[in-house]
């Protein structure tokens, strides 16, 4: 068979199976998976050695903010910087957000953000965002869907910035449903959060050390319950971003049992870090929304990686640096929320859950690549090694032990919330469209080959037949 390269000797891991296979690549696509050794050595074909390694579809990060402006802060990375970090961490597709600034049209935000895709080292897709409904919103959403932007982010919090009211959420759900898309939503009851913040300011304190009590678990549960009711009333699919408690995840799982098409995303930091981080010397390093929860809550949330109730794992990457995080550390209401994590998502989850807790490598791929591709209309082009898929591949050494340190990472910031964490497993070679961009763990090709990938209409029947639990 005519191929441009072959990955030999590894164990291919797909969401639904794994086993020894050689991977043939031609014209930037997967050409075939073959029995090990079936291809005769040919000097015109580049051979990539994967003996002792796992061969994974490149990660798909469904939740990645690039150069994101909120209030007075803008996160620090460009597409080139964010995707450099992504590929070094084994992720080969990011899904970014086009969140309009106050007064900006959602469509204009999407057009501006989409134009940046070509600066990326890997491909990207985009979530739109609606904050306020007006007479033009339905047409804007139609234009976005026609251009492959079908998932629409909404917020129940951040009043005056990106919070939408219930009417806007309902209308957006109706419209995206009919356009083959869905609303993806940040759920925290703003009323409960504002009350908790006000009480904290008058008592315990509102500095970063008190982050956890300013956004309590009940704020998340309350908003999830309301959004589920709106979605059920409209028979509209819905995807909950960064669910941080088992209770929130279970509310969604119960709604699925009642017939709603609903998905749960969890993010790395909620699955691995806990609120003891706020008792340390630099609690501002860990300020994110929802906040880190108790160790017991983290344990209970992590269980749902095994039950199947968590659909995807994202990073919620926000590349602020310590200067930004420290500038308002005395008052979390004024701080930039969010943690850098596009590069650490896969290694941290692999180490903590596959190595330490026995999550299967296939489920890891399902959560971190295949399901994110499915729920974003990118599958099977992304998130799979099936013939015809883009040859975006992470060759993974499951045995290497290493210690996370900001010096070895590529994110455009000066800290990582995982500093000093000892991990086992990391990508060694990463291919984007058949090109080796990371080799022996080092970036070797920084060519900007990124494309904006248009989402196909979401096919929930196909997702049910595939690997996503729908009930
Ligand atoms: O703290 C967070 N998550 N910041 C990023 C914006 C968002 O809410 O996703
Ligand atoms: Zn959010
Ligand atoms: Zn986010």
DSSP string over 103-116: T--HHHHHHHHHGG
* Alpha carbon distance 186, 189 (integer Å): 10
Q: What's residue 28's pLDDT?
A: 98
416: CB partners within 8 A, 6+ apart: 340, 344, 404, 405, 406, 409
Give me the numbers of helices (H) and strands (E) for the chain, helices first please: 15, 21
Other Cβ atoms closer than 10 A to 45: 17
Environment of ion ligand 3 (residues, CB < 5 A):
316
CA angle, 75 then 64 then 100, to 5°: 65
Q: 59 forms bridges with which residues in the sheet?
A: 91
Q: What's residue 226's pLDDT?
A: 98
Ligand 1 site, residue 87, Cβ cutoff 6 A = no
* Alpha carbon distance 141, 149 (integer Å): 8
Residue 2 pLDDT > 60: no
In degrees and rounded to multiples of 5, residue 88 shows phi and psi of: -65, -25
On whether the CB atoms of residues 98 and 149 are closer than 8 A, the answer is yes
Which residue from 28, 22, 20, 21 is spatially nearest to 4, judged by alpha carbons?
28
Whole-number Cα distances in Å, 471 to 260, 262, 293, 367, 465: 8, 9, 27, 17, 12
Whole-number Cα distances in Å, 449 to 48, 61, 63, 79: 21, 18, 21, 11
Predicted confidence (pLDDT) per residue in 401-458, tens digit: 999 999 999 999 999 999 999 999 999 999 999 999 999 999 999 999 999 999 999 9
Q: What's the Rg (C-alpha) of the chain? A: 21
Report the sign of the C-alpha dihedral through residues 131, 135, 141, 147, in that order: negative
Q: Counting ligands in written order, which one lies closest to the CA of residue 95?
A: 3
**What distance in angstroms lies between residue 290's CA and the mean position of ligand 3's atoms?**
10
For residue 259, the 8-state DSSP code is: T
Pocket test for ligand 1, best of 74, 316, 319, 417 (most atoms within 8 A of CB): 316
Which residue from 120, 46, 79, 87 is spatially nearest to 429, judged by alpha carbons?
87
- On the question of a cis peptide bond just before residue 290, with omega within 30 degrees of 0, the verdict is yes
**What distance in angstroms lies between residue 64's CA and the mean position of ligand 3's atoms?**
7
Q: What's residue 471's pLDDT?
A: 64
**What distance in angstroms lies between residue 391's CA and the mean position of ligand 1's atoms?**
31
Counting residues of the chain whose pLDDT is more than 70, the rounded percentage is: 99
Band of the pLDDT at 43, cuts 50, 70, 90? Answer: confident
Helix (H) or strand (E) holding 222: helix 217-234
**What distance in angstroms lies between residue 316's CA and the mean position of ligand 1's atoms?**
7
Average pLDDT on 149-156 reads: 98
**What distance in angstroms lies between residue 334's CA and the mean position of ligand 1's atoms?**
13
In degrees and rounded to multiples of 5, residue 5 shows phi and psi of: -155, 160
**What distance in angstroms lies between residue 171's CA and the mean position of ligand 2's atoms?**
20
* Alpha carbon distance 278, 294 (integer Å): 11
Q: What's residue 462's pLDDT?
A: 85
* The two three-digit tokens of residue 296, written as one number: 């017991």
Rounded to two decimals, the pTM is: 0.98
Ligand 1 site, residue 361, Cβ cutoff 6 A = no
* The two three-digit tokens of residue 65, written as one number: 């903010």
Report the sign of the C-alpha dihedral through residues 108, 110, 114, 116, in that order: positive
How much is the mean pLDDT over the chain?
96
Q: What's residue 161's pLDDT?
A: 93
Q: Report the atom number in ligand 1 closest to the C-alpha of 267.
A: 3
* The two three-digit tokens of residue 359, written as one number: 């999550």
Q: What's residue 139's pLDDT?
A: 98
Q: Counting ligands in written order, which one lies closest to the CA of residue 291?
A: 1
DSSP conformation letters of 376-436: TT-TTTSS--STTSB--EEEEEEEEEEE--GGG--SSSS--TTTT-EEEEEEEEEEETTEE
Q: What's residue 3's pLDDT?
A: 62
Residue 195's SS3 state is helix
Q: Which domains does the chain have, with CATH numbers?
A: 57-386+453-466 (3.20.20.140)
Pairing between β-strand 393-403 and β-strand 22-26 as defined by DSSP bridges: unpaired
Q: What's residue 39's pLDDT?
A: 77
Ligand 1 site, residue 106, Cβ cutoff 6 A = no
On whether the CB atoms of residues 430 and 90 are closer than 8 A, the answer is yes
Atom 9 of ligand 1, residue of closest alpha carbon: 316
Predicted confidence (pLDDT) per residue in 232-260, tens digit: 999 999 999 999 999 999 999 999 999 99
Q: Report the atom number in ligand 1 closest to the C-alpha of 158.
A: 8
**What distance in angstroms lies between residue 241's CA and the mean position of ligand 2's atoms?**
7
Pairing between β-strand 238-240 and β-strand 123-129 as defined by DSSP bridges: unpaired
Average pLDDT on 284-308 reads: 98
Pocket test for ligand 1, best of 186, 240, 284, 319 (most atoms within 8 A of CB): 186
Atom 2 of ligand 1, residue of closest alpha carbon: 338
Ligand 1 site, residue 63, Cβ cutoff 6 A = no
Angle between helices 217-234 and 166-178 (to 10 degrees): 50
* Alpha carbon distance 173, 152 (integer Å): 9
Band of the pLDDT at 461, cuts 50, 70, 90? Answer: confident
DSSP conformation letters of 317-381: B----HHHHHHTTT-GGGSPP-B--TTTHHHHHIIIIIITT---HHHHHIIIIIHHHHHTT-TTT
Band of the pLDDT at 467, cuts 50, 70, 90? Answer: low
Which residue from 420, 460, 349 is spatially nearest to 91, judged by alpha carbons?
349
Q: What's residue 465's pLDDT?
A: 76
On whether the CB atoms of residues 262 and 309 are closer than 8 A, the answer is no
Average pLDDT on 130-155 reads: 98
* The two three-digit tokens of residue 155, written as one number: 């917020």
Ligand 1 site, residue 337, Cβ cutoff 6 A = yes
Ligand 1 site, residue 453, Cβ cutoff 6 A = no
Ligand 1 site, residue 237, Cβ cutoff 6 A = no
* Alpha carbon distance 45, 28 (integer Å): 13
Ligand 1 site, residue 289, Cβ cutoff 6 A = yes
């Amino acid at each position: 068979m005519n191929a441009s390269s072959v990955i030999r000797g590894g164990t291919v891991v797909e969401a639904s199976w794994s086993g020894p296979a050689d991977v043939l690549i031609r014209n930037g696509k997967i050409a075939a998976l073959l029995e090990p050794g079936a291809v005769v050595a040919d000097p015109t074909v580049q051979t990539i050695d994967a003996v002792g390694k796992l061969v994974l579809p490149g990660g798909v990060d469904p939740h990645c903010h690039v150069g994101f402006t909120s209030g007075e802060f803008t996160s620090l990375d460009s597409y080139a910087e964010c995707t450099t970090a992504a590929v070094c961490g084994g992720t080969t597709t990011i899904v970014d957000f086009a969140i309009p600034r106050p007064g900006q049209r959602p469509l204009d935000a999407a057009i501006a953000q989409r134009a940046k895709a070509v600066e990326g080292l890997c491909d990207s897709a985009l979530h739109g965002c609606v904050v306020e409904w007006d007479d033009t919103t339905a047409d804007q959403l139609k234009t976005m869907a026609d251009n492959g932007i079908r998932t629409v982010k909404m917020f129940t919090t951040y009043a005056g910035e990106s919070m939408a009211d219930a009417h806007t959420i309902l209308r957006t759900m109706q419209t995206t449903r009919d356009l083959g898309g869905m609303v993806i939503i940040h759920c925290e009851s703003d009323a409960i959060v504002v009350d908790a913040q006000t009480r904290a300011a008058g008592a315990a304190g509102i500095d970063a050390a008190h982050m956890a009590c300013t956004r309590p678990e009940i704020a998340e549960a309350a908003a999830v319950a309301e959004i589920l009711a709106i979605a059920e009333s409209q028979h509209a699919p819905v995807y909950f971003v960064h669910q941080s408690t088992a209770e929130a995840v279970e509310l969604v799982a119960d709604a699925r049992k009642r017939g709603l098409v609903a998905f749960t995303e969890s993010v790395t930091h909620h699955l691995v870090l806990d609120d003891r981080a706020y008792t340390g010397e630099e609690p501002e390093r860990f300020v994110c929304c929802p906040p880190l929860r108790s160790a017991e809550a983290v344990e209970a949330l992590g269980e749902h990686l095994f039950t199947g109730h968590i659909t995807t794992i994202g990073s919620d990457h926000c590349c602020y640096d310590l200067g930004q995080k420290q500038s308002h550390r005395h008052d979390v209401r004024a701080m930039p929320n969010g943690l850098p994590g596009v590069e650490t998502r896969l290694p941290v989850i692999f180490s903590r859950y596959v190595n330490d807790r026995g999550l299967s490598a296939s489920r890891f791929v399902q959560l971190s690549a295949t399901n994110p591709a499915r729920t974003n209309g990118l599958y099977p082009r992304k998130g799979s090694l099936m013939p015809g898929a883009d040859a975006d591949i992470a060759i993974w050494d499951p045995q290497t032990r290493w210690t996370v340190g900001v010096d070895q990472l590529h994110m455009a910031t000066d800290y990582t919330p995982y500093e000093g964490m000892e991990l086992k497993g990391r990508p060694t070679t990463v291919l984007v469209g058949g090109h080796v961009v990371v080799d022996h763990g080092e970036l070797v090709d920084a060519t900007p080959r990124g494309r904006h990938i248009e989402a196909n209409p979401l096919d929930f029947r196909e997702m049910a037949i595939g690997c996503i639990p729908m009930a």
